[in-house]
Amino acid sequence: MILYPAIDLKDGHCVRLYQGDMDKATVFNDSPANQAAQFEADGFEWLHLVDLNGAFAGKPVNADAVEAILAASSLPAQLGGGIRDLATIEMWLNKGIKRVILGTIAVNDPQIVRNACKAFPGQIAVGIDARDGMVAVEGWAEVSTLTAVDLALKFEDAGVSAIIYTDIERDGAMKGVNVASTAALAKATSIPVIASGGVASIDDLKALKAEDVTFEGVISSRAIYDGRLDAAEALEVLR
Active site residues: 8, 129
* Residue 64: C-alpha distances to residues 29, 94, 213 (Å): 15, 15, 38
Please state the three-class secondary structure of the chain as a single string: CEEEEEEEEECCEEEEEECCEEEEEEEEECCHHHHHHHHHHCCCCCEEEEEHHHHHHCCCCCHHHHHHHHHHCCCCEEEECCCCCHHHHHHHHHHCCCEEEECHHHHHCHHHHHHHHHHCCCCEEEEEEEECCEEEECCCCEEEEEEHHHHHHHCCCCCCCEEEEEECCCCCCCCCCCHHHHHHHHHHCCCCEEEECCCCCHHHHHHHHHCCCCCCEEEECHHHHHCCCCHHHHHHHHC
